[in-house]
Chain A
Amino acid sequence: MIRLIKFILLILFLILSFQKLLMANNNSSTIDKISKNLRCLICQGQSVYDSQSDFALSMKTLIKNKLEEGKSEKQIYDYLKNQYGEWIVYDPEFNKKNLILWIFPLILFIFGGLLIYRKVFIN
């Protein structure tokens, strides 16, 4: 009986430790994912992930803490956007100000398509 309890405890212990390891791995890949999409505050042109500046390292610690608090990726982005503005993310949201940037390639694509269509099928 005692042996059985010991065995169950051992299994439980193993499962728990693996789960913790798995969670830590999961967190670190999420930290990487988020920090790759954040603009470094000091070394402009680099992402937080690439940068070794003190502020970038602090930012990574902050992301880690927020993940451990159970915050979702979106909540972390929203939090940082609230502190630093839309500027902080590399993937800006669709809004009135950048409408033309989003739509311009589409217009070019349609325009080019029309040109080709006219050239090939009408002429």
Chain B
Amino acid sequence: MKKNIFYLILLLFFTFIFTVFYIGLDKPNFYTPKEVKNKSLEEFTSTELFSNEQFNSKDIIENNKFSLINIWSSWCVPCRLEHSVLMDLSGKTNLNIIGLNYKDKKNNAIKFLNELGNPFSKILMDPDGIISISLGAYGVPETFLLNNKSKVVRKYIGPLTKDDVLEIIKIIK
């Protein structure tokens, strides 16, 4: 009797472990952290790509009801794909779209914009990538929708899709 109970417990234990691992097989192994909502974005100062003027992020953000910060770079392939979506968004709305040019060469960035269009109201430069890290970004491209208090309303990791644009338009209306 005692032995039977022991084997039953053993069987249950291994069934449990098998089930856990079996379910785990189907789960994607790329972990994306939870979205950080309602977090204030850290203030930063940076140089504008075209005018070479210094701008403080707070000054640009607080004058608009909503702002979108898009981290991009000319060498990043997904950014190229995303760009048409950003152009579409800037055409449909008058949202304040700020570009954060991540670890890029100025010439390449300008060439990229000449080729694909410029959806940004301002492009701030992040030559060593520190600003992006201080914003809590995971990679390029990445986009933050902010309210005028610099609070993150939505964060999009990876390229923006058409559905994301529809969602953004819905939020800012």
Contacts and interface: CB of A to CB of B under 8 A. Distances in A.
Q: Do A and B belong to a common assembly?
A: yes
Interface of A: 41-42, 44, 54-55, 57-59, 61-62, 65, 83-85, 87
A42 B130 CA distance: 16
A81 to B, nearest CB: 11
18 contacts: A41-B138, A44-B29, A44-B30, A54-B102, A54-B129, A55-B132, A55-B133, A55-B137, A58-B129, A58-B130, A58-B132, A59-B133, A61-B130, A62-B133, A65-B130, A83-B135, A87-B31, A87-B33
Nearest to B126: A58
Contacts, number: 45
B138 A61 contact: no
Nearest to B30: A44
- Which residue of A54, A57, A61, A84 has the most chain B CB atoms within 10 A of its CB atom? A54
Nearest to A86: B33
Given A44-B30, A61-B130, A85 B139 contact: no
Given A41-B138, A54-B103, A58-B103, A85 B34 contact: yes
B138 A62 contact: no
A80 to B, nearest CB: 8
Interface of B: 29-31, 33-34, 36, 42, 102-103, 128-130, 132-140
Contacts of B137: 55
Given A41-B138, A55-B139, A58-B103, A85 B33 contact: yes
Contact of B128 (A42, A44, A61, A85): A61
Nearest to A88: B33
A41 B132 CA distance: 12
A89 B134 CA distance: 16
- B129, B133, B137, B138 — which one has the most chain A CB atoms within 10 A of its CB? B133
Nearest to A39: B31
B129 A61 contact: yes
Contacts of B102: 54
A65 B131 CA distance: 12
A74 B139 CA distance: 25
B134 A62 contact: yes
A55 B139 CA distance: 7
Contacts of A41: 138-139
B16 to A, nearest CB: 14
B32 to A, nearest CB: 10
A85 B134 CA distance: 13
Contacts of A44: 29-31
B136 A42 contact: no
Contacts of B30: 44
